[in-house]
Structure 1
């Protein structure tokens, strides 16, 4: 989010990772559960819920169970992910699925009560512009709840690669305070931000690299090194990462930023193109 993204590369990576995603998405499920725990504290009875960047639909199914009277819409720009999301959830209440970019939502103004987004917003190119789009589709008094990654995410991997060359090998992420400021600038009301730090460990750096690949979480910045990484560079990175070994394990740190904010009850209508109401979204 702080460097220009190759969105085509991001979409291709997640599309390829769809079959393997659930096998390795342990961290994503844990973060999603912590977000659902936060929703327990919010008095909200939505009629339309948007799972933004739904992936394989783990949270989509949880939201359907939590809000049995609401219509749930899973949105992702990787179609193979949505095919898996469609299979989850209550047997007779499959979610609506929409393949679209979260930065350009094909939804009508003020049509959604709750936007839930678990570690997806780091894949947008312009966070402030994306927030404006989310505010546009939220009903007055609607809630945005999201998680994303902060700048200390995978700092050990970034540090190891910095010993090898000057290319960007790890995506960059916005600071919690910058995210909160962006919410205020976009005219969201009552933003609340907090942060968790979660560390996973591996026997070797190859395990981390393999998990990132199976998740589809590739470095997709336009400043990344193109072409294959040579064996020499890879070995040099492995050696540099070894300096972070603790108690026989290699750590991989994640700074997880949580945020929620409300669409103001009164706001000025903005002119725009004609869009489709969420009620008219068909099902796969």
Structure 2
């Protein structure tokens, strides 16, 4: 699973800045979230504590709260502005609890969660093995991990167009489904199930693709990215390469998204270890904050 390293602080800044625009452009994210929620209908469990990791603006957090009316649902994200948006989805009599934290070092006590849910967030986490180890640690034995992520064919057109301009990383390298499955096994999750689905969004021009990516907070966060502003000449060259290769007879250009779905169960009898002195709290002790 060799990828261009991500700058975690830049990922956080990108999503923090995108909270106000995210919902306007997150059409695919909502669709995938709804499909992920539908998969819970065949899961026979009634979790008491659910953590939505990488909750963004809280679309799935609210859906989880509506689906599991007796559960305590916590939205966790590393971008504070996203958590404020999530809290705004709560109701006065049933607010949404939020927690600011890093998925690679969850600020939660061991075996304090019944379900970890994550919709299209894992691809922004630099160390997937560490993330799954943390999910395994905080889940109670027999707890459920349910997630979606983006696969390597995501934004393949944009990646190919930029490759015609320079050799800098402009598009994130997404994780192959088989590598995700291997990481689950290495983290000792039980009975992992994986599958994949492809989506294509179409635009009038390549700038429409970039506009949506900026609105989502899905900006370039590769450690080896160019540090200066992209020049107009290079941007125009990328757009010309994109249109020359992909503009269809209907005048539209495609943007491909490969979505990986997975679920697995926390194993029993594993030692609960963690490094460092990070404070861990029980998920049922997180207080309510009103927006």
TM-score interval w.r.t. the shorter chain?
Answer: over 0.9
Residue 118 of structure 1: CA displacement?
A: 0.3
CA RMSD of aligned residues (A): 1.2
Residue of structure 1 equivalent to 2:175: 174
Residue of structure 1 equivalent to 2:93: 92
For residues 31-180 of structure 1, the aligned pairs below 5 Å read: 31-180=32-181
Residue of structure 1 equivalent to 2:231: 230
User: C-alpha offsets along residues 7-64 of structure 1, whole Å, 9 cap, x if unaligned?
Assistant: 1111111111101111110000000000001111111100000000001101111000
User: C-alpha offsets along residues 148-182 of structure 1, whole Å, 9 cap, x if unaligned?
Assistant: 00111000000000000000000001110010011
* TM-score for both structures, normalised by structure 1: 0.97
Paired residue secondary structure (2:42):
coil
Residue 271 of structure 1: CA displacement?
A: 6.0
Q: 1:61 touches 1:90 (CA, 8 Å); kept in 2? A: no
* TM-score for both structures, normalised by structure 2: 0.95
Whole-Å Cα distance in 1 between the matches of residues 158 and 271 of structure 2?
Answer: 45
The runs of 5 or more residues in structure 2 that have no matched partner are none
Residue of structure 2 equivalent to 1:27: 28
Whole-Å Cα distance in 2 between the matches of residues 24 and 88 of structure 1?
Answer: 18
Whole-Å Cα distance in 2 between the matches of residues 209 and 271 of structure 1?
Answer: 39
Question: Relative to structure 1, is the Cα distance of residues 240 and 59 closer, same or farther in structure 2, using a 3 angstrom cutoff?
Answer: same
Whole-Å Cα distance in 1 between the matches of residues 274 and 75 of structure 2?
Answer: 26
Whole-Å Cα distance in 1 between the matches of residues 67 and 122 of structure 2?
Answer: 23
Residue of structure 2 equivalent to 1:250: 253
Paired residue secondary structure (1:19):
helix
Q: 2:136 touches 2:267 (CA, 8 Å); kept in 1? A: no
The runs of 5 or more residues in structure 1 that have no matched partner are none
Aligned residue among 255, 267, 284 for 1:279: 284
Residue 79 of structure 1: CA displacement?
A: 0.4
Runs of 4+ residues over 4 Å off in structure 1: 271-274
